[in-house]
Structure 1
C-alpha cells in the first residue's frame, strides 16, 4: 500500500506527498517546433517511477516520492517526483502511461526530456539522484516547444534543445544551499531540506517557462481526458471533439507523442493491471473492460506491459499511473 501525508511547507511547495512504502502517473498563432538532436534509447536512463521498499533504503537515500504540483502548474504537470538511491543491480519495470518527463540528474548536473512510451521497459537499477517533473499527456509541447512524435520511446539532453538554460545547475545549487527556513522545517517534513529546495527551483523554472507559453491544444486535452477513462472508443472521441480520426491522430503525434489508439490501449492496460493485482477473474475482467476475450486481454498485457496476467498478480507490485483510474 502507499502511505500518504499532507504537508504545508513554505516557499509555495506542493502539499501532497506520496511515498512508495513497503509494497510498492482556440490555439494562438502557429508555433515553431524545435527538432530533437541526438536522441538515444530510453533504456539508457535510470530511475523513473521506481517501486521500492522504504525500509531497505540506506542513509541519504530517498524512496520514490510523488508530489502534487501547485495549483497554477496543475493544468500542465501531473506530478513532481524524486528519488535518490546508492544501489546497483537488478531492474525495475516502467509501464507506458502517455506522459512526458523531464529528469534532472542532480548527481551529475544533467537534464533530459523523456518521451512517451508505447511498451514497457526494464530499466537497470543504478546509483542516481533524480528530481523530475511528469507532464500531463498533451501538455509538454506547450512548455518545451518540441514536436513529441520525434521523442517516442526516446530521450534527449535538454542542452541539445536549447530550452534548459541553467536548469540542472540551478536545481543542484539549490539543494547544496537550501534556505535556512527549509532547514528549520526539515525535521517536521517528509523530505529533506535539500529535496524541498530542489523542487522549489524546478517549480520556479516551470513557472518561468509558462510566462510566454501557449496553452495546450484544448482539442487534444479533451480527447486525452475521454480516452484516459479506459473504455472510450477512438471513433466516439473524434465525434465528441468534432474532428476526423486522421486529424486527431496528427494532433496526438505532435502534442502527445503517441496516437489516440495507443493511449486508449495504454489506459485500458493500466486499469486491467490494477484490477488483476487484486485477484480479479481474468475472463470477467476482459468482458468488463471491453476486450474481445481472455486471450485478447492476455495479448495486450504481454505486448504493452511485457508480462502475463498471472505475473501481474504474482510479481512485486508495479507502479501504475493514477491518470487512468487505477486506484478504483
Structure 2
C-alpha cells in the first residue's frame, strides 16, 4: 500500500507503466479530481486496474489524496473473485464490491492518519481473503515461479512441475488470474526491464539483463505494454519513484 496526494494546479497527463499486480486506486476525495483512461474508456473515483490495461493514463487537475494498493494476482483473485473480467480492463471499485466499496471509502476518509488508513485497508483485505477460496495451488505455484524467475521460465517446464498438461495449466491459469502464463511471463520480464531503465541502465543493457534477444525486442515490448519508447518508460513519473513508494519492489535481485 502507498498513500499519495495530488496537487496539480496545471493539467497533468501521466502514463502508468504496467506492473505485474492488480492495482486498486481509492479516491479519498469525492471523485472529482483525477480521471483514468484506458482503451477508450474513462473513469473517476475509486477504480481497480487489471493486469495489462494497455495504454493507461492519469489525467486532470486539482488536489486530492489517494490510497494505492497492489495485489498479486493470486491475492486479487481471492479479494475480487475469479478475475478473468479484470484481465486487461479497469472497473469502478463499486462494480466489484457493491455497497462495501462506499463503506470502505467512508471509513478511509474518516481516518486521521495514513497509518490508520493502511490498517483499515489491511483489515478489509484480510476479511475478503479469509472469506473466499484461494486459487488452485498449481496456479499459485506457477505465478510464484514466474515472478521469482522474472519471467524466464518455460510454460512447459511449469506444467511439468505441477503435474498438469500445458493445455490444462493454460486454461486454469487464465480463468483464475485473467491472463495466460506466457503473457504473465512477458509482463514480469518487462517489469524487470522497466525498473532497470528507471535505475539508469541503457536500453541495450536492460534488454540483455532481462533476457531479451536484443534491444529491438525490448523496444517492441515497451510499445506493446505502454505505447512508449524505453527512454520514455525510464522517465515515467510513477516508475521513477517506485522504489521509494514500494521499497520491497525494486530492480535489485532478491537476496
Query: Does the TM-score normalized on the shorter chain lie above 0.5?
Result: yes
Take 2:128 and 2:236, find their aligned partners in 1: how far apart are those partners?
Answer: 40
Larger Rg: 1
Contact 2:51-2:88 at 8 Å conserved across structures: yes
2:16 and 2:236 in contact (8 A); partners too: no
Distance 2:94 2:190 in 1: 34
Counterpart mapping for 1:1-328 below 5 A: 80-87=1-8, 88-108=10-30, 111-117=46-52, 119-127=54-62, 128-145=64-81, 147-161=82-96, 163-176=97-110, 178=111, 193-228=112-147, 229-230=149-150, 231-280=152-201, 282-283=203-204, 285-313=206-234, 318-319=239-240, 326-328=251-253
Q: Secondary structure at the match of 1:122?
A: strand
Please, what TM-score do these two structures have when normalized by structure 2? 0.75
Distance 2:6 2:206 in 1: 37
Q: Over residues 138-195 of structure 1, what are the superposed CA-to-partner deviations in whole Å (9 max), with x where a residue is unaligned?
A: 22121222x322222322234334x34344334434543x4xxxxxxxxxxxxxx333
* 8 Å Cα contact 1:139-1:256 kept in structure 2: no
Distance 1:277 1:139 in 2: 27
Shift of 1:95: 1.7
For the aligned residue pairs, the C-alpha RMSD in angstroms reads 2.9
**Deviation string, structure 1 residues 191-249 (Cα, Å, up to 9, x no partner):** xx333333332222222223322123221221111112222222222222222222222
Q: How many residues end up aligned between the 2 structures?
A: 232
Distance 1:323 1:221, change over 3 A: farther
- Partner Cα distance (1:268, 1:201) in 2: 33
Whichever structure has more helix as a proportion of its residues is 2
Shift in Å, 1:116: 1.4
Q: What is the deviation of 1:276?
A: 3.1
Gaps of 5+ in 1: 1-79, 179-192
CA contact (8 A) 1:271 1:324 kept: no
Unmatched 5+ stretches in structure 2: 32-44
TM-score (norm 1): 0.61
- CA 1:299/1:323 → structure 2, altered by over 3 Å: closer, same or farther? farther
- Which segment drifts farther, 134-143 or 121-130? 121-130
SS at match of 1:211: helix
Q: Which residue matches 1:61?
A: none
State the distance in 2 between where 1:130 and 1:300 align: 30
Tell me if the contact between 1:271 and 1:326 (Cα under 8 Å) persists in the aligned partners.
yes
